[in-house]
Structure 1
């Protein structure tokens, strides 16, 4: 989305995947990750402005995670070309196939490459 940027960093903190909302809006967040060979999508976390949320606790075992976020106040999204299943209410969905046929929405996520780090923080920001 125009007007929004993503910053990612690795911190020397606890081994978790954290997402920080550095915007002036409240955002809704969904994530995607692989567990035992199967993709899982999970959401929603509501993250207030200038707050962080730990979305996966513990040592990160994958290099690739997916994120989709919605700016509740200004509209717009952080999305990408990796499609996963979502729904409007809280969810945890196994698999990425036939989302609509299974009663879900097909939603674009963007990829985060943690470069093998055991902990990672993603910062969603307004573009200046």
Structure 2
């Protein structure tokens, strides 16, 4: 009786937890990275940043159920060099930000950055890995 009660308690604590939906980024490079992300919203995009991710660490960029197949990520090292090669232009700021709309970034006082398109294949969870740059 005691053994079955212990097993049931362990299952309740460890085994029955619901899976958490998230978009994560893991830094496998040798540099500290600054991360921004963008997602589609009502006919446009919203960008958010910054997350600082140390080498061999991960950050959760979106904690809710992924609503879109495509998300966009920008990563740079602490010297401002791009760590992901993207081609989608979107707005970022120098400090923590949330920007709606991606047109006329410079005219609106923002910086222009090239984001990488991430295809989540319509999964609830997705992890982006940033590898070291080729030398």
TM-score category, normalised to shorter length: 0.7 to 0.9
1:32 aligns to what? Answer: 38
Point out where structure 1 has 5 or more consecutive residues left out of the alignment: 1-12
> Cα–Cα, structure 1 residues 97 and 52, in superposed 2: closer, same or farther, change >3 Å?
same
Q: Output the CA distance in 1 between the equivalents of 2:80 and 2:99.
A: 27
The structure whose residues are more often strand, as a share, is 1
Question: In the alignment, is residue 119 of structure 1 matched against residue 107 of structure 2?
Answer: no
TM-score by length of 2: 0.79
The structure whose residues are more often helix, as a share, is 2
Q: Output the CA distance in 2 between the equivalents of 1:57 and 1:36.
A: 19
Q: Output the CA distance in 2 between the equivalents of 1:99 and 1:88.
A: 13
Match of 1:52 among 54, 58, 62: 58
TM-score by length of 1: 0.83
Q: Output the CA distance in 2 between the equivalents of 1:90 and 1:74.
A: 15
Point out where structure 2 has 5 or more consecutive residues left out of the alignment: 1-18
User: Could you report, residue by residue, the CA deviation over 1:49-79 in whole angstroms, capped at 9, with x for unpaired residues?
Assistant: 1111101012101000001100226944314
Structure with higher Rg: it is: 2
CA-CA distance at 1:36 after TM superposition: 3.0
CA-CA distance at 1:80 after TM superposition: 1.5
CA RMSD of aligned residues (A): 1.7
